[in-house]
Amino acid sequence: MALIRYLPIRPNIRFVQARLWTLAVAAILMAVSIVSFAVQGLNFGVDFRGGILIEIRTHEPADIEDLRARLGRLDIGPVTLQQFGEPTDVLINVQRQDGEEAEQMAAVNAVRAELGDVVQEYRRTEFVGPTVGEELRRAGMMATLLSILGIGVYIWFRFEWNYAVAALLSLVHDIVATVGFFSITQIEFNLTTLAAVLTIAGYSVNDTVVVFDRIREMLRKYKRLSALDMLNVALNSTFSRTLLTSVTTLVALVALYAFGGEVIRGFAAGLIWGIVLGTFSTIGLAVPLLYYLGVRHPSAAGGEEGSSKAAAKATASSKGS
């Protein structure tokens, strides 16, 4: 709590003046993400690509390298292993075999025969067919698109079309860059990580709406401010709130990443990246885009610097907001 008292209540950072730099960073993130997705794609989990999922518990802490070498000798295609939870818990992913249920069961029996007495308990065995995987991919894409559309409609009704366009472009940037993060790191992309992407979208838009609401308030209250000064005042007046919200959320996510186990680690890693990205995109992308789309009061003073006295007055008044 003592550290909170040292946070600036009324910072005077010229965020929007750095818009060319922040827009360039956003463009680079988008380009790198698209190239990575086109070149190597995503490391789809069994939810999306289909296959066999076997969860085992061993008698002693599992030797992953030994298990991987033993299963690699089987003629059942690529096999991936992940340790999660306890040192004795292992998740085995086996490529879906050509054929029907009999061929899948043959692969499971081959794994069981190879592991033998190493395994204390087979905790679950699941099959996901290619049709189900394709349906899940389609449903996931539809859920993402509908969420973007719904958010855009909400912001359009609550604000104006230019706010909606700026928020949607910022949201698309966050989603593309998050998918790019999973593509570059090759963290398994499954239903859990898809939930992380949708969570990031909601978090980012919430932050953007708070700033946009303050901008609208400034438009009504300070009619002599230039657009540039007004946007800077709005960002500075919400900066402490944004910083505290992001940092406290990140503390929880870092703990989840470090101690939550392998199964949830991809979800936590995606959220950590998304929180940082969403905070950046609100300040460095959504607001500059809104500036270019034209948020000007009819009586606003022209020029980039605007009225410095009015800006100072507005900054001082934002302390009590």
Q: How far is CA 125 from the centre of its chain?
A: 30
* Same structural domain, 214 and 260: yes
| Whole-prediction pTM | 0.72
Query: Rounded distance, CA 282 to CA 217, Å?
Result: 17
**Domain-ending residue, one of 80, 96, 128:** 128
* Res 181: pLDDT: 93
Residue 3 lies in a domain: no
Q: What is the pLDDT of residue 177?
A: 92
Two structure tokens written together for 188: 């398994």
- Output the DSSP codes for 250-275: HHHHHHHHHHS-HHHHHHHHHHHHHH
C-alpha–C-alpha distance, residues 67 and 84, integer Å: 15
Same domain, residue pair 118 and 239: no
Q: Output the pLDDT for position 294.
A: 79
> How long is the chain?
321
How do strand 51-58 and strand 89-94 relate by DSSP bridges?
antiparallel
> In the structure encoding, which two tokens stand for residue 297, read together?
């009061």
Count of beta carbons in the 10 Å neighbourhood of residue 267: 23
Q: Does residue 311 carry a pLDDT above 60? A: no
What is the Cβ-side half-sphere exposure of residue 249, based on CA atoms within 13 angstroms? 21
Confidence of residue 184 (pLDDT cuts 50, 70, 90): very high
- Whether residue 194 is predicted with pLDDT greater than 50 in this model: the reply is yes
Could you tell me which residue, 252 or 313, shows the higher pLDDT? 252
Task: Tell me the percentage of the chain whose pLDDT exceeds 90.
Answer: 11
Q: Is residue 2 part of a domain?
A: no
* Overall number of domains in the chain: 2
Of residues 12 and 180, which shows the higher confidence score? 180
Please indicate, yes or no, whether residues 152 and 92 belong to a single structural domain of this protein.
no
Sign of CA dihedral 202, 182, 249, 211: negative
Whether the CB-CB separation of 294 and 226 falls below 8 Å is answered with no
The verdict on residue 4 lying in a domain is no
Is the predicted pLDDT of residue 100 greater than 80, yes or no?
no
Residues 95, 34 share a domain? no
- Is a pLDDT exceeding 90 seen at residue 35? yes
Looking at residues 90-101, what average pLDDT do you find?
76
Residues 230 and 123 in one domain: no
Torsion of CA 42, 142, 100, 94, to 10 degrees: 30
Shared domain for 19 and 79, answered yes or no, is: no
Structural domain containing residue 18: 9-44+133-320
Average pLDDT of the segment spanning 192-211: 84
* pLDDT over 50 at 29, yes or no: yes
The residue from 128, 160, 175 where one domain ends is 128
Is the distance from CB of 197 to CB of 172 less than 8 angstroms?
no
Task: Check pLDDT > 90 for residue 49.
Answer: no
